[in-house]
Amino acid sequence: MTEKDTQTRLWQEITGMVVAAVILVMVAWLLVPEPLVGNPTQTELLSIRVETTDQRVLSWKPRTVVQRQTARAIVDYMATLHKHNTLLPAKQAWQGKQSMVICLRTEDDYQVVVLGKGQEKGFACGQDGLGLAGQVPACQTLGEYIWAQIQEDLSAGA
């Protein structure tokens, strides 16, 4: 075996290891869930937009002290949930499926969680809609929890 063959084989082995490492990282990224809200103490709930059964769109923003406490409880609850990364573009994931849109702000970025009508899974993505969406399982439970928290405020404002 010549020196050139040895070098070629070495580069082939290195390339194979790099490809295997990239595939392993990508599989781990897709399979390992991450928290829906990474740092709840640094996360602020900005607003919730709800589409009712009669096609009205109601908006809730925490303004009073009590509403801010409610928003904190919602963020804390969301911190117990996990999302699964997907290869689905964000805009495509939540197009036409919005019954509840939750806007959050952290120190680093803005995040939107979209829960759809009758959907088992919701989606989380950046506010700009760019990038990939994360899938939020059990969005029905999250939607019911949030609705129970803000329903009285929305009814009073309607």
Instruction: Give me the tens of pLDDT residue by residue for the chain, a chain 158 residues long.
Output: 677 788 888 899 999 999 999 999 888 888 888 898 888 999 999 999 988 777 778 899 999 999 999 999 999 999 999 999 888 888 777 676 668 889 999 888 889 898 877 677 888 888 777 788 888 887 788 888 998 899 888 776 54
Non-local CB neighbours of 50 within 8 Å, separated by 6+ positions: 57, 58, 59, 60, 99, 100, 147, 150, 154
